[in-house]
Chain A
Amino acid sequence: MLIAPIARIAIRSLVVPILAVPLVIATLAAAQDAGAPPTEAVSQDAAGTSEPAATEAAAPEREAFEGTPAELAATYDTVTLRSIGKTFGGRDLQLLSVGDPDATWAALIVAGLHGRRGADESAVALDVAAWLAEHSEELPANTLFHVLADGSPDASAATAPSRAGNDRSIDDDGDGDLDEDGADDLNGDGEIGWMRIPDPTGEWAFDNDGVPVRAEPAKGTPRTHRIVREGRDDDADGKWNEDGPGGVDIARNFTWSFEEHTRAAGAWPASESTTRAIMDFILAEQRIALVYEFGAAETITKNPGWDGAWKKLPDDDGDLLTGLREMHAKGADVKRSASAPGNGSLGATVWNQLGRIWLGRAPLGRSGPVWPDGDAKWPQHLTVTWSAVSGDGVPDGAEVATITPLRTDVGDDEPDEPDDADDADDADDEGDEGDEGDEEDTVKLPPSIFAETPSIGGFLRDVAAARAVVAFTETFTAGSDGVLRLRTRLVNTGRLPTHTARGAQLRARRPLNVRVVLPDGATLAGGRPLVQIERLAPGGASDELAWVVAGKSGDTVKIEVSGPDLAPIAHEVRIP
């Protein structure tokens, strides 16, 4: 229920590649077929850069939420806010909960575990929480959505730009000193930027505009520089910024395939109070059936391929993932690279130890590594100039980058209209070449990070509706004179399994516990008093149950079923 809308901004619509239009129409149609509300969608150009699609006509304008968790909780009476623990630095892990607090089924949305990317991820997660709150009347009954928008508040609060970890000091360079060589603001602009150092063994070269390109000596681009964060060699060990403040990367501190003796991953699995708080929360909340994470991993586009910590799941779980991807695609159609959860990640741990479903979504604009990590290319919409710096510990010839957007309208709150409606038509005519139109007007701007909120919110709503539901069926009773013979089947009528196949293998969660409750004086002459069923697959899978009870004619025998995320059910039968 909306109390008072605050802290909102308008979502920006950006340059529209015509290629996207048919896909968008198809996607929207599919979504509407399923009863989901129209959503905004994004598509992608041939180079793999995400672009927002033309959605204004199909989807209602929606304002993104950009406030704090407390502001969100104050805005909606279906939202509560609490702390589930403290970080190493003493900050609260703020958990928003949207929906029925007494629900028997819940999902957990997590973001920002890795500090370096955390801001965008957290913003999207908060916006998804807002979307769920806005649509609380559409949410299935008896469901609850927990949102941990900032999974590493220490890292979020840090000012160092490359800070991925929490407040714990670690000896990154193994020299026995802690945090003694962090980045430095050499040019006094209040920012820690990038610094290039002349180095004939470096990995970088530069074009005439000073834009960095990967050196390829074999192809005529010789190595000229290396690029490091702006800083001096504070500890005179010949290295720059190799041991800055903090910290353990929470995104690598979970238990599954933990990287021992990797400082940034932590001293041991779940060494950090943040990690433990999240794991304890999931363990205590047996009703959490699904974890949806905004982070580096992207498993919704497609399966990134089983490897490493992304250990091959049983076939049934693979099929489940495929089904969930199809369900998700009804909300948006975004092409991007798949990326598996890594060692010590929440995702790998949720699947392989906690026995729940986990899905990873790399938010828009974050589907690839941040430059200059990995193979990332220089973002097209940015220009760079280099200024010389000097001083103690600053390497000879060092220069610091000043990076500015080519387009000055980036950051405007008002929606960007296409410069000329005819451009769109022209692009349409050009088919696949559309995204290579007028260079002056088609500089690739990153899409709004909030563009996918409705599709994600819609997916979460839909997956909650698809949860496992068990019922008795084909019940047969017989007997006479105080003897009851009972046979029945317990069936899962939901579209999701009661347990993941991996979880059932691991016995990671409580099974379906089927108990026979006898009236006073009755005895169980046949069958088990407690039957434990590890898993019922979706789509009508069932288990047969049978008992013989001796007791007083007319008394009632009760069969009770409970499961970790099921609404409990009971079936009563009279003794003949």
Chain B
Amino acid sequence: MRRPIAPTALALTWLVAFAAGALAQDRPATPPWAQDPPPRVAPRPEKKPEVNLRFDVYYHVDELHAAMRQVAAAYPDLLEIRSIGKSVEGRDILMGVLTDTSTGKDTDKTAFWCDGNIHGNEVQGGEASLYLLWWMTENRDLPRVRELLRERTLYVVPSINPDGRAHWFDAPNTMSSSRSGKRPVDNDRDGLFDEDGPDDLDGDGEILRMRVRDPNGGWKVHPEEPRLMVRVKPGEKGTYRLLGLEGIDNDGDGRINEDGPGGYDPNRDWPSDWAGPAEQYGAGPYPVSLPETRAVVDFLVAHPNIAGFQSFHNSGGMILRGPGTKEFGGYPRGDDRVMQALAARGESQLPFYRSMVIWKDLYSVHGGEVNFAYEGLGIFAFTNELWSRAQYLQGAKGATGDASVDRLRFDDDLELGRRYVAWKPLQHPQFGAIEVGGWTRRTGRVAPSFMIQEMSHRNMAFVLYHAAEMPLVRAGTVTSGDAGNGLRFVEATFTNEGMIPTRTQRSVDKEIGAPDRATIAGGGIEVLSGGVVSGRSLRVNDPEIRRPADLRLTGGIRGDAEIRIRWLVRGSGTVTITYRAEKGGTATLSLEL
């Protein structure tokens, strides 16, 4: 390490130089304090955004869609808003198509899919997606952003469950409702639909918990925090009985809240490894039974250029990948290694998030969205569970380690008590004198408002990293040589610059999508055979002779790898060689024979 120069030495040097300069010049010396200040490196503050969006609030679906349109209006050459379908209640499912249109159509580029809010109450996926659209357009001049937009497309749907999102804002809800969409379901099988949901008994706009004093109850007041309830231990006597969520017996069947609005799980409606409603709660009668799912599936199937996939949920701080069930078995090793590498980078971008396998580390899911993306379409896919409760106090001094107490302390100290409702008495039509109170919907699962932007930015960074690693086919070299007897070899190389292969092993194994194709064409040539040059032997061990000018390369090009293709031809003239990968783009070489 170089030794730093002492300040006194610097001053002495300056004085000597100044004196020498003064002596060398005829004109009177200008003291340094009178000279123009040396040019400074221009400060580079974040530029003022074209579109002023706040990321310390949650947007109603109408506001979310308006914000998307606002961004698109400011950056029409980068962002287009499309509706890909309608929800049960007729709302548009809006997509932002993000790409630099000056370099080609969205469908001509390898694309990334990102969605949020499949569960109506998991709202922050909407903000994270909107943030992605906004930040990428506002920062279009950053070289890496520019390159991404030139060569890739991002299809971003902030809310694929707009009804559920609207209901979360518009109706009284719990922390965990409204998870489903708004298709009526007869959950209690009494022939009526959605007739007995929760009720906002105290009119405060929230569905809280109900409790009643009971000397034999199973709950008591938390010993350190009287606002909280804890279950009694064996041998202990309780003081309260919990009566569930705020509600009454609307249909007179003796039960409360057993058939509320909707009542299904949109993330059990996807085609791969699907199981019916008898096997898992929330599935419809068949996969893709919901209009929202159908809109997404139709789009995905119609866009084989999609090679990366991200779904934003909440919560728990997870970077989830399949399989969804143990019975499905493992993913091919090569694919899993790439997914692990992607997720590992995500863990460094997203403190408090862990890389996990759905069935092994969370729970079993049949017919999940990201499972369909990979298992059905051969696309590497992740679900991020945005926001972890560990982020409340983040291990700060004073944290008790008791999640409930720490959350209350966070609410008291950082949100000034806006998320917790103290217990209050109420007269219930069935239970008589009860109390209602507890957490409102904007706690537990969603990030506190002042932390939305950081959550969104970090998750966006993970998406951009994944998107940058999608396959990208580049033309390499093309050469020719004498093969004797008037024949010539033509040899071309193409590289895949992404970590992700042009065809995942899953695609290869299950024949998903089209194989890569390498074609050679030229008016003056006859193509006699062709094939991939194998490893060390540098030979074409498996020549195609039936249709050698149009090779089907089912294995594609591995990530960060090269493919070398050799043809045997007769004739001369200009030869054009094209490599087409459904998910890696097209590259062309030409040669004069």
Residues on A lying within 8 angstroms of B by beta carbon are: 171, 174-176, 235-238, 255-256, 258, 260-261, 267-271, 275-276, 279-280, 283, 353, 505-511, 513, 515, 528-530, 532, 562
Contacts of B254 in A (CB 8 A): 528-530
* Contact pattern, B 101-140, Cβ under 8 Å of A = 1, otherwise 0: 0000000000000000000000000000000000000000
Classify the secondary structure of A's interface with B: loop
Chain A CB within 8 A of B288 CB:
yes
Contact A513 B190 (CB under 8 A): yes
The one of A261, A269, A515 in contact with B287, judged by C-beta atoms closer than 8 angstroms, is A269
Residue B510 is within 8 A (CB to CB) of chain A in the complex: yes
Q: Are A276 and B286 in contact (CB under 8 A)?
A: yes
A-B contact pairs, 10 of them (CB 8 A): A255-B287, A260-B272, A261-B511, A268-B376, A269-B287, A283-B285, A507-B278, A510-B186, A530-B253, A530-B254
Report the minimal beta-carbon distance from A173 to chain B, rounded to whole angstroms: 9
The docked-state distance in angstroms from the alpha carbon of A260 to that of B366 is 13
Note all chain A residues with C-beta closer than 8 A to B285. 255, 270, 279-280, 283, 353
Residue from B512, B517, B547 in contact with A261 in the complex, judged by beta carbons closer than 8 Å? B512
Chain A residues with Cβ below 8 Å from B191 are 510, 513, 562
Q: How far is the CA of A530 from the CA of B277 in the complex (A)?
A: 23
* Residue contact A268 to B514, C-beta cutoff 8 Å: no
B189 touches A268 (CB 8 A): no
Structural contact, B276 and A261, CB atoms closer than 8 A: no
A79→B389 CA distance, assembly (Å): 63
- Is B559 among interface residues, defined by CB-CB distance under 8 A? no
Contact residues in B for A268 (Cβ distance below 8 Å): 271-272, 274, 287-288, 376
Q: What residues of B have a CB within 8 angstroms of the CB of A174 in the complex?
A: 511, 515, 554
B residues 185-210 touching A (CB-CB < 8 Å): 186, 189-191
Task: Please indicate the chain B residues that have their CB under 8 angstroms from the CB of A515 in the complex.
Answer: 253
Tell whether A270 pairs with B286 under 8 Å between CB atoms, given A236-B546, A353-B276, A510-B189: yes
Please give, as numbers and ranges, the residues of chain B lying within 8 Å of A509 by CB-CB distance: 189
A279-B278 contact, Cβ under 8 Å, with A261-B512, A562-B191: no
Closest B residue by C-beta to A238:
B546
Which of A256, A505, A510 is close to B190, meaning CB atoms less than 8 Å apart?
A510
Whole-angstrom CA separation of A263 from B190 in the bound complex: 39
Give the interface of B toward A (CB within 8 A). Answer: 186, 189-191, 252-254, 271-274, 276-278, 285-289, 301, 375-376, 510-512, 514-515, 517, 546-547, 552, 554
Residues of A within 8 A of B375 (CB): 260
Q: A176-B514, A176-B515, A261-B511 are in contact. Are A255 and B552 (CB under 8 A)?
A: no
- Kindly provide the distance from the CB of A452 to the nearest chain B CB, expressed in whole angstroms: 32
Tell which of A176, A260, A267, A280 has the most Cβ of chain B within 10 Å.
Answer: A176
Report how far A237 CA is from B544 CA in the complex, Å: 10
B271 touches A267 (CB 8 A): yes
Q: How far is the CA of A353 from the CA of B276 in the complex (A)?
A: 7
A505 to B276, CA, bound (A): 13
- Determine whether the beta carbon of B286 is less than 8 Å from that of A255: yes
Cβ of A297 to closest chain B Cβ, rounded Å: 20
Distance between A195 CB and nearest chain B CB, rounded to angstroms: 19
Interchain CB contact under 8 A, B276 and A237: no
Tell me whether A267 and B301 are in contact (CB under 8 A): yes
Chain A residue contacts of B510, Cβ below 8 A: 260-261
Query: Are A176 and B190 in touch, CB under 8 angstroms?
Result: no
Measured between C-beta atoms, what is the minimum distance from B548 to chain A in Å?
A: 10
CB distance from A108 to the nearest CB of B (A): 16
Nearest-CB distance from A440 to chain B (Å)?
A: 50
A269 touches B190 (CB 8 A): no
Chain B residues lying within 8 Å of A171, measured Cβ to Cβ, are: 514
Q: Is the CB of A529 within 8 A of B271?
A: no
Q: How far is the CB of B197 from chain A (nearest CB, A)?
A: 17
- Cα(A235)–Cα(B547), bound, Å: 9
Provide the bound-state CA to CA distance between A506 and B280, in Å. Answer: 11
Contact partner of A255 (CB less than 8 A), chosen from B276, B301, B517, is B276
Q: Which 5 A-B pairs have the closest CB atoms?
A: A268-B271, A176-B514, A270-B286, A506-B278, A530-B253
Q: Which residue of A lies closest to B547 (CB)?
A: A236
Q: Which of the residues B190, B272, B277, B515 comes within 8 Å of A175, measured between beta carbons? A: B515
- The distance in angstroms between the C-alpha atoms of A258 and B286, with both chains bound, is 11
Contact A279 B512, beta carbon cutoff 8 Å: no
Beyond known contacts A176-B552, A513-B189: 9 more, CB 8 A cutoff = A236-B546, A236-B547, A237-B547, A255-B274, A255-B276, A260-B376, A276-B286, A279-B286, A507-B189
Tell me whether A529 and B253 are in contact (CB under 8 A).
Answer: yes
Residues of A within 8 A of B547 (CB): 235-237
Residues of B within 8 A of A511 (CB): 189
Could you say which of A267, A269, A508 contacts B286, with CB atoms under 8 Å apart?
A269
Q: Of A175, A269, A529, which is within 8 A of B552 by CB?
A: A175
Report B480 CB to chain A, min CB distance, Å. 25
State A258–B547 Cα separation when bound (angstroms).
35
Residues on B with C-beta less than 8 A from A507 are 189, 278
Query: In whole angstroms, what is the CA distance A270 to B286 when docked?
Result: 6
Q: How far is the CA of A507 from the CA of B273 in the complex (A)?
A: 21
Name the B residues within 8 Å of A236 (CB-CB): 546-547
Query: A176-B514, A176-B552 are contacts. A269–B189 as well, Cβ < 8 Å?
Result: no
Q: How far is the CA of A175 from the CA of B513 in the complex (A)?
A: 9
- Are B546 and A237 in touch, CB under 8 angstroms? yes
Chain A residue contacts of B190, Cβ below 8 A: 510, 513, 530, 532
Give the nearest-CB partner of A254 in chain B: B286
A18 to B285, CA, bound (A): 51
Q: Which residue of B lies closest to A517 (CB)?
A: B252
User: Residues of B contacting A532 with CB < 8 Å?
Assistant: 189-190
Q: In the docked arrangement, what's the CA distance between A529 and B278, Å?
A: 26
CB neighbours of B186 from chain A (8 A) = 510
Give B311 Cβ to nearest chain A Cβ, in Å. Answer: 18
Find the B residue at minimum CB distance from A177: B514
**Which residues of chain A come closer than 8 Å to B274, judged between CB atoms?**
255, 258, 268-269
**A562 and chain B: residue at smallest CB distance:** B191
Q: How far is the CB of A242 from chain B (nearest CB, A)?
A: 13
CA of A358 to CA of B260, assembled, Å: 33
- Using Cβ atoms and an 8 Å threshold, which residues of chain A touch B272? 260, 268
**Bound-complex Cα distance A260 to B517 (A):** 25
Cα distance, A176 to B581, chains bound together (Å) = 11
- Chain A residue contacts of B252, Cβ below 8 A: 529-530
Return the chain B residue nearest A261 by Cβ: B510
Of B189, B286, B288, most buried by chain A (CB within 10 Å of CB) is B286
Q: Which residues of B contact A530 (CB under 8 A)?
A: 190, 252-254
Contacts of A260 in B (CB 8 A): 272-273, 375-376, 510
Question: Cα distance A174–B555 when bound, in Å?
Answer: 13
- Among A174, A268, A511, the one with the most B-chain Cβ atoms within 10 Å of its Cβ is A268
The answer on a CB contact under 8 Å between A270 and B189 is no
Which residues does chain B contribute within 8 Å of A267, judged by CB atoms? 271, 301, 376
In the bound assembly, the distance between CA atoms of A549 and B278 in angstroms comes to 36
In whole Å, how far is A511's beta carbon from the nearest beta carbon of chain B? 6
Among A271, A509, A562, residue most surrounded by chain B Cβ atoms (within 10 Å): A271
Contacts of B289 in A (CB 8 A): 270
Closest CB of chain B to A236's CB: distance in Å? Answer: 5
Would you give the shortest CB distance from A63 to chain B, in whole angstroms?
Answer: 40
The answer for the CA separation of A235 and B514 in the assembled complex, in Å, is 16
* Beta-carbon nearest neighbor of B189 in chain A: A510
* Alpha-carbon gap, A505 to B515, bound state (A): 45
* Complex-state Cα separation, A135 to B94, whole angstroms: 56
Which residue of chain B has the shortest Cβ distance to A256 in the bound complex? B276
- Closest residue of chain A to B511 (Cβ to Cβ) is A174
Separation of A171 and B189 alpha carbons in the complex (Å) = 42
Q: Shortest Cβ distance from A103 into chain B, in angstroms?
A: 18
Alpha-carbon distance between A171 and B301 when the two chains are bound, in angstroms: 14
Residue of A at shortest CB range from B275?
A: A255
Task: Specify the chain A residue showing the minimal Cβ separation from B190.
Answer: A513
Kindly provide the distance from the CB of B88 to the nearest chain A CB, expressed in whole angstroms: 15
For B546, what are the chain A residues with a Cβ–Cβ distance below 8 Å?
236-238
**Chain A residue at smallest Cβ distance from B186:** A510
Are the C-beta atoms of A353 and B515 separated by less than 8 Å?
no
B443 CB to nearest chain A CB (Å): 34
Tell me the bound Cα distance from A513 to B190 in angstroms.
6
